[in-house]
């Protein structure tokens, strides 16, 4: 899940992920398989695979599970027949939704995603119907108590980051997608704690959602996020910390 109120939403997502670690491991394994299938099994030569492995390690996925996923992707083990599909559409209040999936059964995944859109007040669209609203961006979150803005900014910009912003409980570092790994590595070497680091789709405009509408929007996002084949849900909602906290 990714929306405009990044620092608040990451807490909501983290709480859900902590309660379903097995699902997160499955998602990480699929991402590793696809990356290795597309670019080979060497993370030094395959940047996408390197990101996927980093994500898996952040979820405490065992080393042997990571290695098995790589071998499935390279064809050394069976089980690597996956493809990536992105579904686009609108949720309640006109919120734009992009749903990234990895699947071995396109028909099953399409049916499950369509069911959630239909049941929870959304409308599934065609390719390109909402993707123009989003820009791929590297984002890193560091807890606010890790250091002051000048310290964080100096380290991040020196490593190649584009910007550092105050997102409440976190410093949010923005990078070009290709620079995410380098910036993350530099911050790790500086012993700065990283809450999350990912390439996400940042909306160019947002839709305010509060009260009952916030609940409706988060319901469809969470139901999509719960589908086994869904890797990530991107949305352009803007929900306040108070409204989000009221849903937990």
Q: Note the pLDDT tens digit of each residue in 121-145.
A: 999 999 999 999 999 999 999 999 9
On whether residue 246 sits in a domain, the answer given is no
pTM score of the predicted model: 0.82
Residue 183: is its pLDDT beyond 50?
yes
127 and 212 in a single domain? The answer is: yes
18 and 60 in a single domain? The answer is: yes
208 and 183 in a single domain? The answer is: no
141 and 179 in a single domain? The answer is: yes
Mean pLDDT across the chain: 87
Average of per-residue pLDDT across 197-226: 91
On whether residue 248 sits in a domain, the answer given is no
- Domain total in the chain: 3
142 and 123 in a single domain? The answer is: no
10 and 69 in a single domain? The answer is: yes
Which domain range does residue 138 map to? Answer: 134-203
pLDDT of residue 112: 97
Residue 94: is its pLDDT beyond 60?
yes
Q: Residue 95 belongs to a domain with what CATH number? A: 3.30.70.980
What gap in Å lies between CA 24 and CA 20, rounded to an integer? Answer: 7
pLDDT of residue 248: 65
126 and 225 in a single domain? The answer is: yes
Q: Quick: pLDDT tens for 14-41.
A: 555 555 666 788 889 999 999 999 999 9
Q: Of the candidates 56, 74, 92, which is a domain's last residue? A: 74
pLDDT of residue 62: 92
218 and 234 in a single domain? The answer is: yes
């Amino acid at each position: 899940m990714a929306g405009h109120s990044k620092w608040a939403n990451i807490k909501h997502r983290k709480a859900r992920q902590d309660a379903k670690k097995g699902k997160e491991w499955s998602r990480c394994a699929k991402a590793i398989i696809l990356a290795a299938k597309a670019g080979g099994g060497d993370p030094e030569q395959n940047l996408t695979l390197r990101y996927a492995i980093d994500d898996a390690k952040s979820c405490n996925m065992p080393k042997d599970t990571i290695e098995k996923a790589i071998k499935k992707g390279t064809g050394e083990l069976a089980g690597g027949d996956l493809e990536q599909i992105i579904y686009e559409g609108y949720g309640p209040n006109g919120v734009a939704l992009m749903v990234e999936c990895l699947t071995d059964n396109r028909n099953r995944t399409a049916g499950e995603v369509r069911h959630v859109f239909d049941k929870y007040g959304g409308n599934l669209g065609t390719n390109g119907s909402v993707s123009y609203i989003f820009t791929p961006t590297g984002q890193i979150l560091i807890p606010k108590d890790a250091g002051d803005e000048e310290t964080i900014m100096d380290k991040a910009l020196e490593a190649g980051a584009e910007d550092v912003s105050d997102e409440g409980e976190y410093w949010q570092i923005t990078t070009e997608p290709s620079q995410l790994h380098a910036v993350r590595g530099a911050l790790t070497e500086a012993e700065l704690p990283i809450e999350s680091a990912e390439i996400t789709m940042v909306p160019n405009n947002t839709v305010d959602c509060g009260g009952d509408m916030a609940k409706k929007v988060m319901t469809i996002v969470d139901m999509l996020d719960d589908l086994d084949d869904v890797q990530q849900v991107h949305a352009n909602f803007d929900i306040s910390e108070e409204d989000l906290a009221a849903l937990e």
